[in-house]
Amino acid sequence: MALTGLFLCLFLVGHLLGNLQLIFITGEEGKRAFNEYAYFMTHNPFVKVLSYVTYLSILFHAIDGFLLTIKNKKARPVPYAYNNPGANSSMPSRYMALLGSLILIFIVTHMANFWWKMKFSSDPMPLHQVVVANPQSGAEETFYITHTGDYVPTSAFVGEGEMPAAMEVRNGTEFYLKEVNLKRGEGYKDLHSVVLSFFGHDKSKDGVPEKNEMALFAVLFYVIAMMVLAFHLWHGFASAFQSLGLNHKAYNKMIKMAGQAFAIIVPALFAIIPILLFMNK
Amino acid sequence: MASKFINITLKIWRQKNSQAKGSMETYKLDHVSTDSSFLEMLDQLNEQLINERKEPIAFDHDCREGICGMCSLYINGRAHGPDTGITTCQLHMRMFKDGDTIYVEPWRSAAFPVIKDLVVDRSAFDRIQQAGGFVSVNTSGRTIDANSIPVPKTDADKAFEAAACIGCGACVATCKNGSAMLFVGAKVSQYALLPQGKVEAKNRVLNMVRQMDEEGFGNCTNTGACEIECPKGISLENIARMNREFLTAALSNED
């Protein structure tokens, strides 16, 4: 529990830094940065290994926690008629299993909303588009951006009257010239727009995901989940050190304070992102 | 201080024997001196029950001065009652008010089955102790004086603090997981800190922890309740030390 817990704390920091791009880099630049980052996170082999370690850590942490809870419940088959646990232990420390289960439910919904869409969903992900004004005519045109920085007009993917479309998207992100069967480039999945739409932004005008009508609930659910996470970390962070035998009077106070600071700062920063996105929609 | 007298209501767990199904029974007890200890109050209740030709309540007690570890009792939701750093025999009725209702229950743990009423079988602790809580020394009469081996003062102090554990089981009783890790941590630590204990340190921790698990105690989730309820103030540091000892022993033991 301790080792996977501490590893997942590190994962939280990494995930948070990625998410913070959503509010610190705005506009087209933010969209480009976030989608390139999402591509990196799904394709870099080192990150891939790390992601599998993370999945396994979550599973191990949840299953081990579940087994531990069952075993611990069995250790007291007859409960006390009158118990006063508040006299000697903190509330979060006694509800770690419940808090953890709620976090697991959040992780499942969270992954269904973003991770599943990004990786497996049969609905094609929207691709990163930019709107550029033609310097000659001044007319605005929409382009896909490729990994090499090329611009491919979206109009090439739509047939006009009798004329069939010149290009098509294969495997979700690859742009092909249909006639010669040649790959022109590869686009970025537009996770940025998916996230912004989920939290209430109206993106549908670009032909990309529709605004989530339940965005307020999505934000509320997210914020509550982060509060639950905060309570879990409030006890869990320092507890992991104790379980590993790292208890020394010179460091105990520091570990406890670092854990409580971590438990407040990290979930608070996570939670502020959807709040800001919702407010600036 | 002038002694006062209070009238109280007691809700006490009654159970005929280990097989019987027990229940909470209510008793009224008048004229209890606030100077009496909790156990003296139970004596007074038992006298009343005997006079009424009823079965007195069985409860554990021995030295009645806080050093034997025999008295137990979960009083008003806390091990050894509503105070810290004391055993039940050191709990006084001045902690209660006139008209109070006091709940008295036995230690609740799968590893501590109830024998009768408030008495539980704590021999699981003895078996853990027998699994490794000792040092093998030659007692031929030519035993080397312990003080001839230098021991750092801080280690000696910590070993002494760990050895202060009286094995009462309050840690198990109060732990929401019914874990015995404070007890085992203290017993492992008192030897692990001293040179005489180092020889058998690896086997000791492995065997004692194995026995602890076999007895059906739960696992520590670091709520810290045991440390607060321990009448001898055994520190959580001892659990961390046991974890450290266990990890290194499990990784490096060659037996």
**Tens of pLDDT along B36-83?**
999 999 999 999 999 999 999 999 999 999 999 999 999 999 999 999
For B167, phi and psi rounded to 5 degrees? 65, 35
- Assign B4 a pLDDT band (cuts: 50, 70, 90): very high
Say if the Cβ atoms of B222 and A245 lie within 8 Å: no
A241 vs A2: CA distance, rounded Å = 7
**Contact status of B24 with chain A (Cβ, < 8 Å):** yes
Among A61, A71, A82, the strongest candidate for a mutation testing the B interface, having the largest count of B CBs within 10 A, is A82
Q: How far apart are CA B202 and CA B255, in angstroms?
A: 10
Give the integer Cα–Cα distance in Å for A5 and A103. 13
Q: With an 8 Å Cβ cutoff, are B222 and A235 in contact?
A: yes
- Which residues of chain A have a pLDDT value below 50? none
Mutation site for A-interface testing, chosen from B12, B103, B177 by largest number of A Cβ within 10 Å = B177
Q: What is the pLDDT of residue A207?
A: 53
Please report the pLDDT score of residue A120 as a whole number. Answer: 82
Domain with CATH 1.20.1300 in chain A: 2-123+193-279
- How far is B142 from A168, CA to CA, in rounded Å? 94
Percent of chain B with pLDDT over 90: 92
Under CATH, what is the fold of the domain B5-115? Answer: Ubiquitin-like (UB roll) (3.10.20)
- Chain A positions touching B120 (Cβ under 8 A) are none
In CATH, the architecture of B123-252 is: Orthogonal Bundle (1.10)
A80 inside 8 A of chain B by CB:
yes
Q: Which two tokens stand for residue A111?
A: 């992954």
| Cα distance between residue B70 and residue B66, in whole Å | 9
At A280 the pLDDT is: 87
> Mean pLDDT of all residues in chain B?
95
How high is the pLDDT of residue B54? 97
A239 touches chain B (CB under 8 A): yes
ipTM score of complex: 0.92
Domain A2-123+193-279: CATH class, spelled out: mainly alpha
Shortest distance, CA B119 to any CA of chain A (angstroms): 15
- pLDDT at residue number A213: 84
DSSP chain A: -HHHHHHHHHHHHHHHHHHHHHHHS-HHHHHHHHHHHHHHHHH-HHHHHHHHHHHHHHHHHHHHHHHHHHHHHHT-SS--SS--GGGTS-HHHH-HHHHHHHHHHHHHHHIIIIIHHHHT-SSPPPB-EEEEE-TTT--EEEEEEBTTS-EEEGGGGS-BTTBPPSEEEETTTEEEETTTTEEEEEB-B-HHHHHHHHTT---GGGTSPPP-TTHHHHHHHHHHHHHHHHHHHHHHHHHHHHHTT---TTTHHHHHHHHHHHHHHHHHHHHHHHHHHHHT-
Domain with CATH 1.10.1060.10 in chain B: 123-252
Chain B contact present for A79, CB below 8 A? yes
